[in-house]
Amino acid sequence: MTKIIAFANQKGGVGKTTTAINIGASLAAIKKRVLLIDLDQQGNAGTGLGFVRDSYRQSVYGVLMGTATAADNILSTAVPGLHLMPSSQALAGAEAEMMDIEGCEFRLRDALQQISEHYDYILIDCPPALGRLTLNALTAADAVIVPMQCEFYSLEGIQMLTNTITAVQRQLNPRLEILGVLLTMYDRRYGLTRAVEDDVRGAFGDRVFKTVVPRNVRVSEAPSHGKPALFYDFNSTGAQAYLRVATEVVQRTEGE
């Protein structure tokens, strides 16, 4: 059965898109059929997978506006088993345009019902805000992965997000759950890193992934080459960390 997972954190710079790309590639590497949806108008998920912005017509924007089907807006990537529904600059106006659409928060959920059987995992990279785009993702998703950097402001952001998730559970999507909190850009040399980790694990317990993703220059370099870290430098510590996280995702969703 298809598992739909949103990657959300309204704080920018926490490695959300990097995480979505690399978990997607890692799941594909272990023979899962994966669709990555880019709901961020910046379109970084596309460029991180080697696509040149505006060189394609496909976009999640048309799907949200009801002018195009999900099936017609999917691109094959260079990673076997990994497909992309890209963003576009038109997505910048989607928040305002959706205000007058009745039931707008269900647009993505309804569109994905037509294609979900073709994938084991559908991953949604949310924008760094808790607006209508993120709401569409949370309404469509079965679960949320929350990437967070080990710093004080990230703790504040994660509390706001959990409040939003609780509201979505009550009003729109009762099946939604937090699949896991993922500590990114982890550097154990700093006392603050360890202190924040202790606080997060104390608050969320087993919902925090066992694996942490370290600061790693190869992971940072990979997007400029249009590749996930796993395909840029398989043996790098960052690539191997994301592969372990993907294994945890499978264990949590499929019991394997």
Give residue limits of the domains in the chain. 3-254
Which range is least confidently modeled, 2-6, 152-156, 186-190?
152-156
Name the pLDDT band for 9 (thresholds 50, 70, 90): confident
The residue among 210 and 99 whose pLDDT is bigger is 210
Architecture (CATH level 2) of domain 3-254: 3-Layer(aba) Sandwich (3.40)
What is the pLDDT averaged over residues 196-203?
90
Interval 195-220 mean pLDDT: 93
C-alpha 14/C-alpha 185 separation (Å) is 8
Mean pLDDT of the chain: 92
Distance CA 37, CA 255 (A): 24
159-163, 176-180, 230-234, 235-239: lowest mean pLDDT where? Answer: 159-163
Higher pLDDT, 53 or 122: 122
How far is CA 201 from each of CA 13, 41, 156, 194, 197, rounded to the nearest angstrom?
21, 32, 15, 10, 6
Label residue 26 left, alpha or beta by phi (over 0 means left) and psi (-120 to 50 means alpha).
Answer: alpha
Q: Which residues pair with 82 in a beta bridge?
A: 34
- Split at pLDDT 50, 70, 90, the class of 201 is very high
Kindly report, residue by residue over 19-65, the tens digit of the pLDDT. 999 999 999 999 999 999 999 999 999 999 999 987 888 999 999 99
Q: In this structure, what token pair is assigned to residue 109?
A: 């959920």
Q: Which residue has the tokens 């699949």?
A: 179
Q: What is the pLDDT of residue 256?
A: 55
**Residues composing the chain:** 256
